[in-house]
Structure 1
Amino acid sequence: MLHVDIPTRPEFSKLSRHRADGCVSIYLKTTPVTQEVGASRIEMGNLVREAQRQLEEIGFDKRRLAPLLDRLNDLLDDDEFWRFQANSLAVFATPDNLRTYRLANDLTSTVQVSDRFHLKPLFRAITFPHSAFVLALSENAVRLMEMHADLPPVVIKVPDMPKDAASSVGKSTLNDRTFSGRIHGSEGQNVRFEQYVRQVDAALRPILAGRETPLVLAATGRLASVFAQINSYPHLLSSTIADSPDRLTEGELAQLARPVLDEAYAAELADIRELFDRRSGERRTTTDISDAARAATFGAIDTLLIDIDTTQPGFVDDESGAVTFVENDDAKAYGIVDEIAARAFASGARVMGVRREDIPGGKELAAILRFPH
């Protein structure tokens, strides 16, 4: 079983809108190796104490602080919870509730306290989850598996998935004459492949509905091209694993899928950088935090790249988008770029959490605007 639960877009939107008198955001390096998770629990305890220090420093209501700390310490003491971890853990806690997400990404341990959650590192998990579905499709068999970074892949049981191409159409072979009388051979085989793939696609729909995880196809020859034509899942990657999947284990398929994912991510970033260069000549870009904050407040950002590794504390005015920078990151201030990302996301912008070297100009952010400024 894969112990990963990446938030969906609706869940992310709900987190970004949440406001409370005390919002604690914890990101923690963890490990899927249960015997080694003790170090993560110790680090978690240190981060909880740091959150407590920040809240006490601003005179946070003790009647509200107690239930907040109870929730965090209850999680810390939950042995069963700590048995099942991935590479990172995100914890979002208030005096009234607590949410956790186990992530395949390798994130830096940190704690942020404010009146809203710190979500910028979570954008990295959404942008580059290092996760994928792999569909191993052949005339003889079909398998769907899920993979995550540094974790073993798992085969997913799909109800109503056909066993193979021939039995899916009630035949012992794909080379007989079709019902309409069309000739057999390669043309008839294509007809049977289409029937087979339609059943596969129909079986996958309930499993993939609402997901944004990339789908990598492992198939060869005409079957690969037929699936690409009929597939209804919008996140099928154009590159495929062109080896016959029948002779590949789940681990081997995952290994072959990783370069396909890397290629897709690199191509997406290259397209955005190229678009940024074109839009710069039209005065439709900015790398300035203050300009980006105003644009995000008024829904003017189309695409936003943000550096996930730094935090610039301060405030962004709810009405004007004016930015106030502060030196000390206390329990009142929050990450300015984090707030810009949340506002852009809420207005329908594409927001991507990346490393600074992937951002034009090497700044904390780069925005492509919907109209000139």
Structure 2
Amino acid sequence: MLHLDIPTRNEFSRLADKRSDGAVSIYLKTTPVTENVPASRIELKNLIREAQTQLEEIDFDKRRLDALLDGLNDLLDDDEFWRFQANSLAIFATPDSIRTYRLANDLSSMVQVSDRFHLKPLFRAITFPHSAFILALSENAVRLVEMNADLPAEEIKVPAMPKDAASAAGKSTLNDRTFSGRIHGSEGQNVRLEQYVRKVDAALRPILAGRETPLVLAATGRLAELFKQFSSYNNVLGETISESPDRLTAAELVARARPVLDAAYAEQIAEIRALFERRTGERRTTTDISDAARAATFGAVQTLLVDIDSVTAGFIDDETGAVTFVDTDDAKAYGVVDQITARAFASGATVLGVRREDIPGGNELAAILRYPH
């Protein structure tokens, strides 16, 4: 099981609003395989040294720098922390605080130093978590399986999960009459399947509460329809594994779920690209960083695709959104597209962190606007 700490929307907003004389953002490739962790710790040590160099070059207060480095080195030396890792680690540190998030995505290692945190890569974790739950649901049994990139499938024990449909209804079979005699046969079976699905949903709620992880359903016939109808979880994917899960191992379920997950991501991107094309004819799109900065500052961005790997250094005016580009990405400048991302997100825009090949025209960003410009 991957140990994940994906930030919520509120946590992201707090990170985006944070300002400090020294804000260090570190993204580090890690591994859940404990014996391979030392390589990640060595790389982190190098990234900390790079952040220190940038701050020393601007004559950062020595006592504040020592406090910042103490926090980062304490993390580096925490053997217990390093026992439980995922595929990437995000670290946000100031002289006064430090926050970490373990992520399922394979992010590029990097360090950014400024007066604010560099958050754009986090949207990859939010947009495409590369992990999912699989609910294997049949009349005979129900299982919850967790899938993650590069790790074996793991079945999750769910307290209060019914054993099967009949026991959920307190019956030995689904085909007998109800006590009142009103419903029986196929009608009675349907009512009891509804009872079963409701109990499954209730058992899942404590596990899924607050999550945005996709849920892939493996079920057939009426059970598949009923679960989608009654599920209280908002991220059940539309496509299902439409064969009986009783005959499938956890590994086989994962093998069948991966194409479903990939198709859902591809469909999401394709829909946004198609919308971008339609809105272009209405003068409601831009791929220009300066135009996008002004739009984001005034809350005019509806949907934003950003390249998570690139950094264009500069500054954005808080009032006008005017961009000043700089040649040197030092401890004073910050990523302007990162700041556009934060402003768009704060105004309620849909933001997706993607690879550059997914962005129309292969640009650093592509924005769909709420009104023509």
The answer to whether TM tops 0.5 is yes
TM-score (norm 2): 0.97
Amino acid at match of 2:269: L
Say which SS state the counterpart of residue 295 (structure 1) adopts.
Answer: helix
Q: Residues 2 and 32 of structure 2 are in contact (CA less than 8 Å); yes or no, is this contact kept in structure 1?
A: no
Say which SS state the counterpart of residue 153 (structure 2) adopts.
Answer: strand
Q: Residues 4 and 103 of structure 1 are in contact (CA less than 8 Å); yes or no, is this contact kept in structure 2?
A: yes
Encode CA deviations 1:105-161: one digit per residue, 9 max, x unaligned. Answer: 111111000001111111111110111121111111112232221123333332322
- Residue 124 of structure 1 corresponds to which residue in structure 2? 124
Higher alpha-carbon deviation: 353-362 or 75-84 = 75-84
Q: Residues 16 and 116 of structure 1 are in contact (CA less than 8 Å); yes or no, is this contact kept in structure 2?
A: yes
- Residue 295 of structure 1 corresponds to which residue in structure 2? 295
Say which SS state the counterpart of residue 235 (structure 2) adopts.
Answer: coil
Identity among equivalent pairs (%): 79
Deviation at 1:69, TM superposition (A): 0.3
How many matched pairs? 373
Q: Residues 27 and 90 of structure 2 are in contact (CA less than 8 Å); yes or no, is this contact kept in structure 1?
A: yes
Deviation at 1:241, TM superposition (A): 1.0
- Residue 220 of structure 1 corresponds to which residue in structure 2? 220
Q: Residues 2 and 153 of structure 1 are in contact (CA less than 8 Å); yes or no, is this contact kept in structure 2?
A: no
Deviation at 1:179, TM superposition (A): 4.0
TM-score (norm 1): 0.97
Unaligned runs of 5+ in 1: none
- Residue 194 of structure 2 corresponds to which residue in structure 1? 194
Deviation at 1:7, TM superposition (A): 1.3
Say which SS state the counterpart of residue 337 (structure 1) adopts.
Answer: helix
Change (3 A) 1:3 1:210: closer
Deviation at 1:20, TM superposition (A): 0.7
* 2:15 paired with 1:15: yes
Amino acid at match of 2:286: T
Cα distance in 2 for partners of 1:210, 1:42 equals 34
Deviation at 1:89, TM superposition (A): 1.0
* 2:328 paired with 1:328: yes
Give matches, 1:131-210, under 5 Å: 131-182=131-182, 184-210=184-210
Q: CA RMSD in A?
A: 1.3
Amino acid at match of 2:45: G
Q: Residues 313 and 333 of structure 1 are in contact (CA less than 8 Å); yes or no, is this contact kept in structure 2?
A: yes
Cα distance in 1 for partners of 2:264, 2:23 equals 35
Deviation at 1:323, TM superposition (A): 0.3
Cα distance in 2 for partners of 1:144, 1:359 equals 35
Encode CA deviations 1:187-244: one digit per residue, 9 max, x unaligned. Answer: 3221111111111112222322222111111111211111122112111101011122
Higher alpha-carbon deviation: 47-56 or 103-112 = 103-112
Deviation at 1:42, TM superposition (A): 0.9
Unaligned runs of 5+ in 2: none
Amino acid at match of 2:75: L
Deviation at 1:176, TM superposition (A): 0.9
Amino acid at match of 1:240: T
Cα distance in 2 for partners of 1:333, 1:142 equals 53
Deviation at 1:183, TM superposition (A): 5.2
Cα distance in 1 for partners of 2:228, 2:313 equals 46
Say which SS state the counterpart of residue 37 (structure 1) adopts.
Answer: helix
Say which SS state the counterpart of residue 144 (structure 2) adopts.
Answer: strand
Say which SS state the counterpart of residue 42 (structure 2) adopts.
Answer: helix
- Residue 342 of structure 1 corresponds to which residue in structure 2? 342
Higher alpha-carbon deviation: 204-213 or 294-303 = 204-213
Cα distance in 1 for partners of 2:157, 2:13 equals 30
Encode CA deviations 1:34-78: one digit per residue, 9 max, x unaligned. Answer: 111111111111000000000000000001000100111111111
Amino acid at match of 2:113: V
- Residue 367 of structure 1 corresponds to which residue in structure 2? 367
